[in-house]
Amino acid sequence: MKSTMRLLVFLAALALLVAACGDTPAEETTTTTAAPGEETTTTTEATDPGTSFEGAVLDSGGCDYGGKLNTLTALDANTVEFVLCKPDPAFLAEIAFGVFGIQPAEHLEATGGAPLDNPIGTGPYALDSWNRGDSVVLSTNSDYWGPVATHDTLVIKWATESASRLLELQAGTADGITFPGVADLPVIEADSNLELIAKPEPNIFYMGLTVTHPPFDDERVRQAVAQGIDRQRIVDTFYPPGSETADFFTPCTLTNACGGEPWYDFDVDAAKALLEDAGLGDGFDTVIRYRQVDRGYLPTPADVAADIQAQLKANLNIDATIEEVESSQFIDESNQGLYDGIHLLGWTGDYPHVTNFLDGHFGKTITQFGAPFDDIAGPLETAASIADPDEAAPFYEQANNAIRQHVPMVPVSHSGAFVAAQAGIDGAHAPPWGHIQFNLWDNGKDTLVFFQNAEPGSLYCADETDGESLRVCGQIVEALYRYTIEGDVEPGLASECAPNDDLTVWTCSLREGVTFHDGSALDANDVVMSYTAGLDASSPLHTGSTGSWVYYDYIFGGLINAG
């Protein structure tokens, strides 16, 4: 049997006892689970006479490891129970994020925890082929539990330049494209054959300054760069309508995003004085690294990099060379905090809570900007466990003020974003959270073609962070909850996840009759094993793609057995 499963002795014994008693009808049984600080009771249906269910368990061994998952248990074939180490008011929004998609336990074992190019899911599409360098071809899942696509095939292609994607749209070889460039917007609006669709996504573009590499290990140098760059000029020059210069890392549309002091004003004299004080009044040499991938938060990376290079020289006498890095390598190396100098990156919101922006960049396990700051990570950890937003507000204010003081990055812009499509496509949309649901797009043809801005890193998105991978994975693999096209959270593979009173125990009932693309039935063990692969660093399934497991790490406050 699966090496990481544990037998739930109680349920097995109960099944044997019921079977020994003959054809006694199944009865309700009560299982008591110790939750942090209290005892909680979960009522489940007893195992059917003559059958048994060997339930998988992910057990952290207690909460001393510092994360927030105590145990995850398959109570029966259709029920899983998350016992947390502390309350989590954002739990449903978090588990709706696509990286927490569920695959068959047997498939995860067969692939050694690395189904990088052969995912098996329950989604509206199944993988047909990944033609490296060209396209991913998906076949419509006619047995899908939700809305079935009207087309037979979805083809996702890519082009790094926005102008190239627009040409595909104008030629009719694409039904939709991501992130048209600023110069493309009026062209699309003037073309009656095309439709421009606003994507109201919360995002941030920032200049990363890894604090463990000199000279950016000196706070004065980081503060000098923060004040020596005219961020408004960048927004005015390179960003589409609806964009704004960032006063805080998190867009203010999210609750508790913008407590504390706003970001520094552009002040060259103050910046030069800080460099003088740090002994670098004559400037220094550095590197600006970026990836050539147009994103909503950074529509023209090379142009923005060149402008920052020019400003550093003109304003602060800092000589910066520009280095383009391959996209997957750039994400992996920046996540590990390997970059000296400046790296240009951004973030598009994954789930509707301030923790998605702040905890994912400044939490206690995050090393992108070097060693985490206690006066940032500490308040964030406290705030994340407080259900009342008003009570959490002072802690977010503390964290924002500490981010401003320490300057591990410079927030530049919250960008307006768009996708574009052929006019007349029924159901075309661009959601604020999550991925486009292409099964809702009806172009009246057998095939729907969509151009995004880069090739996926892999198709095992439990261990990916880039939107190009997540968009494709989200068509194939689904999570317990999901986001509607309006941005709300709703049940997905779970029909419900019900909390106890203090939000430390969440009991999830699986949707009935759901099957994977290989024909196997979804059950609770698949859920437990999918989470085990991501969270348990000692599991043989904890292989993945990059080995970073960024989202599992930060959303759950740390990996189990990471030491």
How many separate helices (H) and strands (E) can be counted in the chain?
16, 22
- Do 213 and 169 share a domain, yes or no? no
- Measured in whole angstroms, the distance separating CA 489 from the mean position of its chain's CA atoms is 15
With H, G, I as helix, E, B as strand and everything else as coil, classify residue 343: strand
Distance CA 217, CA 346 (A): 21
Distance CA 13, CA 19 (A): 10
Q: Does any domain span residue 29?
A: yes
| pLDDT at position 17 over 50 | no
148-206 pLDDT, tens digit each: 999 999 999 999 999 999 999 999 999 999 999 889 999 999 999 999 999 998 999 99
Sequence letter at residue 406: H
| pLDDT at position 123 over 70 | yes
Q: Which two tokens stand for residue 309?
A: 């290079």
Q: Which two tokens stand for residue 377?
A: 């990570």
- Give all strands (DSSP E) within 339-407, no chain letters: 342-348
What residues contact residue 478 under an 8 Å CB cut-off, 6+ apart? 98, 101, 102, 121, 122, 123, 492, 493
- Do 25 and 44 share a domain, yes or no? yes
Show which of 449, 476, 503 is a domain's final residue.
476
Distance CA 2, CA 105 (A): 8
Sequence letter at residue 157: K
With helix as H, strand as E and coil as C, how does 177-197 read? EECCCCCHHHHHHCCCCEEEE
Q: Which two tokens stand for residue 114?
A: 């690395």
- Do 194 and 214 share a domain, yes or no? no
**Which pLDDT belongs to residue 51?**
56
Distance CA 442, CA 510 (A): 29
Q: Does any domain span residue 432?
A: yes
With H, G, I as helix, E, B as strand and everything else as coil, classify residue 329: helix
**Which pLDDT belongs to residue 52?**
77
How many Cβ atoms sit within 10 Å of the Cβ of residue 504? 23
- Do 226 and 339 share a domain, yes or no? yes
- Do 336 and 423 share a domain, yes or no? no
495-547 pLDDT, tens digit each: 999 999 999 999 999 999 999 999 999 999 999 999 999 999 999 999 999 89
Counting Cβ atoms within 10 Å, is residue 190 exposed (0-12), middle (13-18) or buried (19+)? exposed
Show which of 429, 455, 476 is a domain's final residue.
476
- Do 150 and 277 share a domain, yes or no? no
CA distances from 268 to 208, 272, 410 (A): 20, 6, 15
According to DSSP, the residues that pair with 286 across neighbouring strands are 320
What residues contact residue 255 under an 8 Å CB cut-off, 6+ apart? 354, 389
Sequence letter at residue 309: Q
Show which of 414, 438, 468 is a domain's final residue.
414
- Do 403 and 462 share a domain, yes or no? no
How many Cβ atoms sit within 10 Å of the Cβ of residue 307? 17
Host H or E run for residue 223: helix 219-228
- Do 407 and 441 share a domain, yes or no? no
Q: Does any domain span residue 562?
A: no
Q: Give the pLDDT band of residue 53 (cuts 50, 70, 90).
A: confident
Provide the residue count of the chain: 563
| pLDDT at position 399 over 50 | yes
Domain count, the chain: 3
Looking up tokens 């980081």 gives 222
- Do 410 and 510 share a domain, yes or no? no
DSSP label at residue 461:
G
With H, G, I as helix, E, B as strand and everything else as coil, classify residue 516: coil
Domain extent for 133? 125-200+417-476
| pLDDT at position 23 over 80 | no
Nearest residue to 13 (alpha-carbon basis) of 42, 55, 43, 41? 55
**110 or 5, higher pLDDT:** 110
Sequence letter at residue 347: W
Mean per-residue pLDDT for 352-364? 93
Q: Which two tokens stand for residue 529?
A: 């094993």
CATH number at residue 367: 3.10.105.10
According to DSSP, the residues that pair with 497 across neighbouring strands are 508
Q: Does any domain span residue 297?
A: yes
- Do 63 and 51 share a domain, yes or no? yes
| pLDDT at position 325 over 80 | yes
Q: Does any domain span residue 556?
A: no
Mean per-residue pLDDT for 318-323? 98
Residues 450/209, Cβ–Cβ less than 8 Å? no
Q: Does any domain span residue 554?
A: no
Q: Give the pLDDT band of residue 8 (cuts 50, 70, 90).
A: very low
For 184, half-sphere exposure in the C-beta direction (CA atoms, 13 angstrom radius) is 26
Residues 224/363, Cβ–Cβ less than 8 Å? no
Sequence letter at residue 376: I
Helix %, strand %, coil % for the chain, to 5? 30, 25, 45
Q: Does any domain span residue 91?
A: yes
Host H or E run for residue 204: strand 203-209
Q: What is the mean pLDDT of the chain?
A: 90
CATH number at residue 449: 3.40.190.10
With the C-alpha atoms ordered 369, 370, 373, 378, is the resulting torsion angle positive or negative? positive
What residues contact residue 391 under an 8 Å CB cut-off, 6+ apart? none
- Do 194 and 133 share a domain, yes or no? yes
264-316 pLDDT, tens digit each: 999 999 999 999 999 999 999 999 999 998 888 998 999 999 999 999 999 99
For 419, half-sphere exposure in the C-beta direction (CA atoms, 13 angstrom radius) is 22
| pLDDT at position 82 over 80 | yes
DSSP string, 33-93: EEETTEEEEEEEEPPPTT------EEE-SSGGGSSSEEEEEEEETTEEEEEESS--TTHHH
Q: Are strands 153-158 and 125-131 parallel, antiparallel or unpaired?
A: unpaired
Residues 108/115, Cβ–Cβ less than 8 Å? yes
The pair phi, psi for residue 140, each rounded to 5°, is -65, 135
Instruction: Find the largest Cα–Cα distance for the chain.
Output: 89
Residues 249/357, Cβ–Cβ less than 8 Å? yes
Q: Does any domain span residue 3?
A: no
Mean per-residue pLDDT for 49-63? 84
- Do 244 and 305 share a domain, yes or no? yes
Distance CA 481, CA 559 (A): 22
Rg of the chain in Å (alpha carbons): 25
**Which pLDDT belongs to residue 13?**
34
| pLDDT at position 231 over 90 | yes
Q: Give the pLDDT band of residue 247 (cuts 50, 70, 90).
A: very high
